[in-house]
Amino acid sequence: MRTILVATAIVCAAGLASCSDGGGPTKPAARQVGVVVAKSEPLVQGGAITGEVRARVQTDLSFRVSGKIIERLVDVGQSVKAGQVLARIDPEEQKADLDVAAANLQSAEAQQTQAQLAFDRQQSLFRTQVTTRAALDQAQEALLTAQASTKSAQALLETAQDTLTYTELKADADGMITARNAEVGQVAQAAQVVFTLAHDGGRDAVFEVVESAFLRPIDGDGTVNLLSDPTQKITAKVREISPTIDSSTGTVRVKVALSSDAPIPLGAPVVGKFNYAAQDVIQLPWSAMTSKDGKPAVWIIDPASSAVSVKAIDVAGYETGSFIVKSGVSAGEVVVTEGTQFLRPAEIVSYVKEASK
């Protein structure tokens, strides 16, 4: 029995000895993470907006006098030439005014003729000392008054003649009628828009865009193509950006000059594509983003200790698969991109050193 107890004690001692050979508890291995070094690189951004083609010069045509429209000679979409009559209003009132002005001129001319004869007679009598100087001066004054009345009547006649021509509405340039706002039988008021004329020549692609779209400078020319034919691309340059915002739409009007030989009809819907001037930014993959106090943040590794810390950032914009850092990260810092879910502040991590170079 004693022999069995001794053998058992020897076996237990051997087992305890074998357990003590492993030393104390081992440290857990450092968490392996993926990293990227923040770099400032040029970023080219752009966008596509839709608009329509309009004439570079467009005028609203209206009668200069009021009257009833008795004839309309053109319609929307019709090409016209400079000086072509587009519509007429009833000219009876203007003709009557012209007749009155002509009669007044005849009367003034007759009075001038009579005053001229009287002056000539007084001048002849004054030379023979038959009449007085006062009578001659009076005759001269009457002549000057008659001459002034004739000039005034002549001016009124010319005004009446011009007013008669205002009863015809004529095109001021070659172009196309794009809008009509009056019909035959309607009484048109002076300066009321009757037609809109798109002049031949230059064409613009007009876009209504949000204010922020053109806050950054455009890099070079853009391209414009028909919405119905994306393969047809036309080089275009921004010609005008409105300095004010349309209060009804909240947008800014942008006009892009098209080449004169561009085969794009008026009113055609188009798509414009533009690139902004490149800017140096720090761009990180989406997987690098985490949260700190409800705000965007990233994990930064201290190269000396391999310890991580969370750092809040400001995001300037989001791209496909990445985001642009506005502030919070400096070029050269090592940012964790993989394995961010279970990290703790000051935790020591393991990463590929070459990836941080």
Q: Residue 302's domain is classified under what CATH number?
A: 2.40.420.20
Tell me which amino acid residue 124 is: S
Looking at the structure, do residues 206 and 193 belong to the same domain, yes or no? no
- How far apart are the C-alpha atoms of 88 and 168, rounded to whole Å? 5
pLDDT per residue of the chain (357 residues) written in tens, 0 to 9: 444 444 444 444 444 444 444 444 555 678 888 999 999 888 766 677 889 999 999 999 999 999 999 999 999 999 999 999 999 999 999 999 999 999 999 999 999 999 999 999 998 998 888 888 999 899 999 999 999 999 999 999 999 999 999 999 999 999 999 999 999 999 999 999 999 999 988 889 999 888 766 666 666 677 888 888 877 788 888 888 888 888 888 888 888 888 766 667 888 899 888 777 777 889 999 999 998 888 999 999 998 898 999 999 999 888 778 898 988 999 999 999 998 888 889 999 988 876 555
Give CA angle at 103 (101, 105), nearest 5°: 70
Looking at the structure, do residues 329 and 266 belong to the same domain, yes or no? no
In a domain, 63, yes or no: yes
Looking at the structure, do residues 218 and 344 belong to the same domain, yes or no? no
Task: Using the 3D structure, point to which of 256, 277, 298 is the last residue of a domain.
Answer: 277
Looking at the structure, do residues 268 and 181 belong to the same domain, yes or no? no
Token digits for 190?
């002076």
How many domains in the chain?
Answer: 4
Any idea what the CATH number is for the domain that residue 65 is in? 2.40.50.100
Residues 6+ apart with CB under 8 A from 337: 33, 34, 35, 36, 284, 285, 287, 288
Any idea what the CATH number is for the domain that residue 265 is in? 2.40.30.170
Q: How many CB atoms lie within 10 A of CB 71?
A: 13
- How far apart are the C-alpha atoms of 150 and 156, rounded to whole Å? 10
Q: Which stretches of the chain are DSSP H helices?
A: 2-20, 92-127, 133-165
Looking at the structure, do residues 310 and 298 belong to the same domain, yes or no? yes
In a domain, 17, yes or no: no
In a domain, 241, yes or no: yes
Token digits for 95?
């003709």
Looking at the structure, do residues 304 and 292 belong to the same domain, yes or no? yes
* DSSP SS3 for 224: strand
Looking at the structure, do residues 103 and 206 belong to the same domain, yes or no? no
Instruction: Give the range of the structural domain holding residue 153, as residue numbers without chain letter.
Output: 91-166
**Strands 31-32, 349-350: pairing kind:** parallel
Looking at the structure, do residues 256 and 242 belong to the same domain, yes or no? yes
Q: What is the DSSP letter of 45?
A: -
Task: Using the 3D structure, point to which of 277, 303, 329 is the last residue of a domain.
Answer: 277
In a domain, 81, yes or no: yes
In a domain, 221, yes or no: yes
In a domain, 26, yes or no: no
Token digits for 23?
């030393």
Max Cα distance, the chain (Å): 189
Looking at the structure, do residues 180 and 292 belong to the same domain, yes or no? no
Looking at the structure, do residues 107 and 226 belong to the same domain, yes or no? no
Any idea what the CATH number is for the domain that residue 110 is in? 1.10.287
Looking at the structure, do residues 179 and 191 belong to the same domain, yes or no? yes
Angle formed by the axes of helices 92-127 and 133-165, to 10°?
160
In a domain, 5, yes or no: no
Looking at the structure, do residues 85 and 172 belong to the same domain, yes or no? yes
In a domain, 122, yes or no: yes
pTM of the model: 0.59
